[in-house]
Structure 1
Amino acid sequence: MTGKDGLSPSLVETVAGFTAGIVSTLCLHPLDLIKIRLQVDRLSSSRVGGSVSVVRRIFQNEGGLPAFYRGLAPNIIGNSTSWALYFLCYGNIKTAMRTWSDDRTLTSVDYFLASGSAGMLTSILTNPVWVIKTRMLSTGSRSPGAYASFTTGAREILRAEGIPGFYRGLLPALFGVSHGALQFMAYEQLKLYRSRMPLANTSNCASETHGASGSFQSGIREIGNMDLFVISSLSKLFAGCVTYPYQVLRSRLQTYDAHLVYSGVRDAISQIWASEGMTGFYKGLGPNLLRVLPSTWVTFLVYENTRACLPQLLSSLR
């Protein structure tokens, strides 16, 4: 199935998601590195200002500013492919739901199920990349046994741990699918709510397709970039506050020595609770919020604008 411009919706969704993943990663990789260093720290307590000491230690001991971009390759590969796959699956699942239900308006439950299904598929396919990324970001390049590159990491895991090594942390990652499901449920419903508010004129090309169903009909408010900015922030904060502990569990289980420290998810939960308390499950939340909010803004603005403008751009080049 193709649109009136000759492009299939799946291709547009994939390119938009891929582009959004690359741009957001390039902008915010250092914050991701700091967040993971805090998440895998089993010794120090969670405290305000902990990020500052991590930044100072990385800068002084690991080679200055370039050290903050260690692991950039797997992060770009992981984020770009994840968003491309996610938006591709998410868009196709929503289309299938509308087809099965005679184009009725999707409900919150529909968005939750579509997002959750897309998230599970994406998590299973991309988990090997996240294992390598977590290990590279959790250690400096000068640390003993640290992976020198993405390909080196892949070879080492295959040699030492076999295929199962690439799927460490998959269970909490699948739990984390609820994060994306909650975020997209809130995102779509907030877009729908905003579109039903009193009409206002907007002129950017992104507003042409920013409806909850992918297109606007006459009499429905157009969603502009400022609307997307606010809506994506609210939906991310909602999902992030509810589901953040799974990220700590996933990071702990994907480190180099995880198999020596934890016997599984239940053991990791028990050890964190016993030695660090509830705050242990929220380590790195500060830099995570500093990272995910700009990342969310960049991702959704780039995604929505790419999805809206790509068909026009390609048409003008023909």
Structure 2
Amino acid sequence: MIKKQMQGGDPAYRTSAGQHLLAAAEASTITALMTNPIWVVKTRIFATPKNDPQAYSGLWNSLTRIYKTEGIRGLYRGSLLALVGVSNGSIQFATYEELKRRRVEAKRKRFAAIGRQWQPEDEKLTNTEYILTSGGSKFVAIALTYPYQVVRARIQNAAPSEGLTIPKVIRNTYQKEGLRAFYKGLGTNAIRILPGTCTTFVVYENLVWLFRKAAVAKQKRESVKEHLA
């Protein structure tokens, strides 16, 4: 929706890499603010043993308990880091759109080299190309922003009395565990996320082209009817 607004209603308008980054950042910011309480609950549930009397159980139970004991600020612990994490989605989508644009341009040059006329539907890439571009862009985003997730999880899991701040967590983690601690679980996280990301983008791109093809066919039918009338 944000991307369409930037295009000004013109589907032929090519948004720049900077515009892709801005659109992704806006969408990711809204998502981060809306979902932060859920991430806080998830962190608390996984961090407390089930046999612990103080263990968190269930989404609604945890939300109300945190709100009663820590207030609204408790539900938004780590929200600053969540906003920093907006860069994850921004980097991913901006990288994806740029990689996709380059693949289309390369395909266009190949067609020109053999004298083949370019058609609008030729802009569609293969599923393999969508998998590679979406997977590659997601991995780049994960690798660049993963440390913030480690810091955010430690802040969200800490009791308010500990008074943890972002600089304090970063300093303590680095001094006690070294640089590798900021990338703990990166490989596992990538393996867990990448298949879903690739599948989502492949399905999305194919649906977009399916709807676009249907819209063109409908437009042609209406044009024929008007001509016959």
TM-score range, shorter chain: 0.7 to 0.9
**Match of residue 170, structure 2, among 269, 273, 283:** 269
Same amino acid, percent of matched pairs? 38
- Equivalent positions of 1:170-249 (< 5 A) are 170-198=79-107, 218=120, 220-249=122-151
Which amino acid letter does the alignment assign opposite residue 163 of structure 1? I
Q: Is the 8 A contact 2:25 2:87 kept in 1?
A: yes
User: Cα deviations across residues 18-50 of structure 1 (Å, max 9, x unaligned)?
Assistant: xxxxxxxxxxxxxxxxxxxxxxxxxxxxxxxxx
Q: Is the 8 A contact 1:134 1:254 kept in 2?
A: yes
Q: Distance in 2 between matches of 1:137 and 1:155?
A: 17
Corresponding residue number in structure 2 for 1:153: 62
Which amino acid letter does the alignment assign opposite residue 269 of structure 1? I
User: Cα deviations across residues 195-243 of structure 1 (Å, max 9, x unaligned)?
Assistant: 22337xxxxxxxxxxxxxxxx9626331232221111111011111111
Displaced runs of 4 or more, over 3 A: 100-104, 302-312
Q: Distance in 1 between matches of 2:200 and 2:211?
A: 16
CA distance 1:269–1:162, shift in 2 (3 Å): same
Q: Is the 8 A contact 2:124 2:209 kept in 1?
A: no
Q: Distance in 2 between matches of 1:139 and 1:306?
A: 42
Q: Distance in 2 between matches of 1:113 and 1:292?
A: 23
Q: Distance in 1 between matches of 2:204 and 2:44?
A: 28
Q: TM-score, normalised by structure 2?
A: 0.79
CA distance 1:97–1:221, shift in 2 (3 Å): closer
Which amino acid letter does the alignment assign opposite residue 175 of structure 2? A
Q: TM-score, normalised by structure 1?
A: 0.58
> Where in structure 1 are there 5+ consecutive unaligned residues?
1-91, 200-215, 313-318
RMSD: 2.5
Which amino acid letter does the alignment assign opposite residue 186 of structure 1? T
Corresponding residue number in structure 2 for 1:115: 24
CA distance 1:177–1:159, shift in 2 (3 Å): same
Q: Distance in 2 between matches of 1:310 and 1:151?
A: 38
Decide which structure has the larger Cα Rg and report it: 2
Q: Distance in 2 between matches of 1:168 and 1:279?
A: 24
Corresponding residue number in structure 1 for 2:220: none
Which amino acid letter does the alignment assign opposite residue 177 of structure 1? V
CA distance 1:260–1:309, shift in 2 (3 Å): farther
Q: Distance in 2 between matches of 1:100 and 1:304?
A: 19
Which amino acid letter does the alignment assign opposite residue 123 of structure 1? A
Q: Distance in 2 between matches of 1:192 and 1:304?
A: 13
User: Cα deviations across residues 140-197 of structure 1 (Å, max 9, x unaligned)?
Assistant: 4323311121111011111111111110111111111111111111101111112223
CA distance 1:198–1:306, shift in 2 (3 Å): closer
Q: Distance in 1 between matches of 2:180 and 2:163?
A: 19
- Equivalent positions of 1:85-100 (< 5 A) are 92-99=1-8
Equivalent residue pairs, number: 204
Instruction: Report the Cα offset of residue 308 of structure 1.
Output: 5.0
> Where in structure 2 are there 5+ consecutive unaligned residues?
109-117, 215-229
CA distance 1:294–1:100, shift in 2 (3 Å): closer
Corresponding residue number in structure 2 for 1:297: 198
**Match of residue 284, structure 1, among 159, 173, 185:** 185
Q: Distance in 1 between matches of 2:207 and 2:44?
A: 32
Corresponding residue number in structure 2 for 1:204: none
Greater CA drift, 302-311 or 183-192: 302-311
CA distance 1:143–1:225, shift in 2 (3 Å): farther
- Indicate whether 1:251 and 2:160 are aligned: no
* Local SS of the residue matching 2:107: coil
CA distance 1:269–1:165, shift in 2 (3 Å): same
- Report 1 or 2 for greater relative contact order, CA contacts < 8 Å, sequence distance ≥ 6: 1
